[in-house]
């Protein structure tokens, strides 16, 4: 009988060697992707709202006017003021009353600076809360009454009577605002009472 001979170059299979079909590459299992990354939430836009005063505050009327309205002066006015100041200085020097002379010089300097000062336009108005002048507001709860000084070629001011004894009266220039419209707007909040013109206001217009 014919028998097969083993080829010496072919070695016998090892006992512990895995079968080819059972060989699988070692791959780490994939981790599950979190749901937050799979379904991103829509971005929310945050809008910041700036609160200005009370939400119920409403502007009823507004206007612009010069803070200081100087009255046009003639040459005679300057001559009279100059003569008075020089006379006071001379009187103070000859009578050894130096405070009087210094006071006259200071008055002349103040008048000069006041004339050279440029007037600025301020914003005024009426709201449901009070009356504002630029960045300051006078609430109706702090006011007693009002009066309007209006002359076509003269004084045009809104006078407010305050409850505070330190500053009893507040003067606000009217500018080009209609006094009738202003009066009707104020009557809904404070009464109208006639005010007397103060001496200081009269001197201020003369200066």
150 and 77 fall within a common domain: no
**Residue 79 in domain:** yes
Query: Does 12 reside within a domain?
Result: no
Q: What are 86's two structure tokens?
A: 């020089």
196-205 pLDDT per residue, tens: 876 656 555 5
Can you name the residues that pair with 139 across neighbouring β-strands?
A: 130
Say yes or no: 134 and 195 in one domain.
yes
Task: Please determine, for residue 98, whether its predicted confidence score (pLDDT) is greater than 70.
Answer: yes
In the structure encoding, which two tokens stand for residue 184, read together? 């009707």
User: How much is the mean pLDDT over the chain?
Assistant: 75
Q: What DSSP letter does each residue of 132-188 carry, written as one string?
A: EETTEEEEGGGEEEEEEEE-TTS-EEEEEEES-SSS-EEEEE-TT--HHHHHHHHTT
What per-residue confidence (pLDDT) applies to 180? 92
Q: Are residues 155 and 197 in the same domain?
A: yes
pLDDT at 140 over 90: yes
Same domain, 117 and 127: no
Decide: helix, strand or coil at residue 21: helix
Which of 79, 100, 121 is a domain's end point?
A: 121
């Amino acid at each position: 009988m014919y028998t097969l001979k083993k080829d010496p170059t072919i070695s016998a299979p090892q006992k512990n060697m895995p079968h080819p079909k059972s060989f699988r590459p070692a791959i780490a299992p994939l981790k599950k992707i979190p749901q937050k990354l799979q379904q991103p939430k829509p971005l929310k836009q945050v809008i910041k709202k700036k609160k200005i005063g009370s939400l119920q505050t409403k502007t009823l009327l507004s206007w612009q006017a010069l803070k200081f309205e100087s009255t046009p002066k003639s040459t005679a006015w300057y001559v009279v003021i100059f003569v008075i100041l020089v006379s006071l200085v001379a009187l103070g020097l000859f009578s050894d009353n130096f405070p009087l002379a210094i006071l006259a010089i200071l008055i002349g300097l103040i008048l000069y600076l006041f004339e050279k000062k440029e007037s600025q336009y301020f914003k005024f108005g009426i709201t449901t809360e009070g009356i504002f002048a630029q960045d300051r507001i006078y609430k109706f709860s702090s006011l007693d009454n009002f009066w309007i000084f209006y002359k076509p070629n003269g004084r045009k001011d809104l006078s407010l009577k305050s409850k505070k004894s330190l500053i009893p009266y507040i003067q606000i220039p009217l500018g080009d605002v209609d006094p009738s419209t202003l009066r009707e707007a104020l009557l809904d909040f404070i009464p109208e009472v006639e005010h007397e013109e103060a001496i200081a206001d009269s001197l201020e217009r003369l200066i």
